[in-house]
Amino acid sequence: MIKVTVKHYPIIKQNIQRAPTFVYSILDQLIEGTVYTDTATFQTLLIHTKSGIYFVYGDSTTTEIDRQLAICLELSIEQGKRFTLFSYSKQWNTKIEQLLNGRLRKIERYTFTFDKSLYGRKEEQEVSNFEVMPIAQLHIKNAMEFTYAYYDEYWDSTANYLTNGFGFCLIHKEQIVSEAVSIFKSNEYAEIDIMTDSNFRGQGLASLIATAFINHCLANELKPCWDSDISNTASIYLGKKLGFTDPQKYAIYTKK
């Protein structure tokens, strides 16, 4: 098993055809992570964040990655840490389920492709008594969902998020009622994570705040990314409404 040095990250990034946004965040060195490979030609890869989010890619017949995956799972159990494994191929799904049989829970999700022609250029609607604002330190302090702990987990620190990430919040009477943040971001992609206060749902606020996020992406030459559990019909509907199309199914595995 070879631990890849950062000087090889651009080569790997160029060769990977499709991966979760957090993989590109690591390869662009916006968040901390580790990349393992089986050979110097990078045929098979195991990439993970510091917080315990993993992705397997390439030739699923290798055995080197198998051992490293098992080690990572054991360490997460011993240390009580997160273990979330992404797989974009049926071959890897079969391998993971055989290798770590009975120890993981499988969740199926969709990843969508953003079609700018379907989105057009939506203007951000002004809604009476609601104000859209870029997320700053004071908003994180008062957030319901996207708290300091959230940014520490996905961005290594709140400071790193404020430097390299972005997001927007919707404020009503000095209360944050909806947020859209970049759960992960690279030099090319920004993956959206949305929260709306349950007392304010059904008013189109998620669409409003997502539009602010997408418009920021377009203004900064970023490709917005939208993922959803296959059972989350509300998220799927909203994504399609905003121009996200061509759902591709993938799997994530978590500790039971």
- Structure confidence by residue, pLDDT tens digits, 176-216: 999 999 999 999 999 999 999 988 888 889 999 999 999 99
- Structure confidence by residue, pLDDT tens digits, 79-89: 999 999 999 99
The pLDDT value given to residue 120 = 72
The structural domains of the chain, with segments of one domain joined by +, span 2-101, 114-247
Comparing CA positions, the residue from 3, 43, 9 lying closest to residue 187 is: 9
| Nearest-angstrom CA–CA distance, 208 and 58 | 38
Q: Is pLDDT above 90 for 99? A: no
Mean pLDDT of all residues in 101-123? 88
Range 114-247 has CATH code 3.40.630.30: yes
Q: Is pLDDT above 90 for 41? A: no
Q: Is the dihedral of CA 75, 80, 84, 90 positive or negative?
A: positive
| Nearest-angstrom CA–CA distance, 241 and 244 | 7
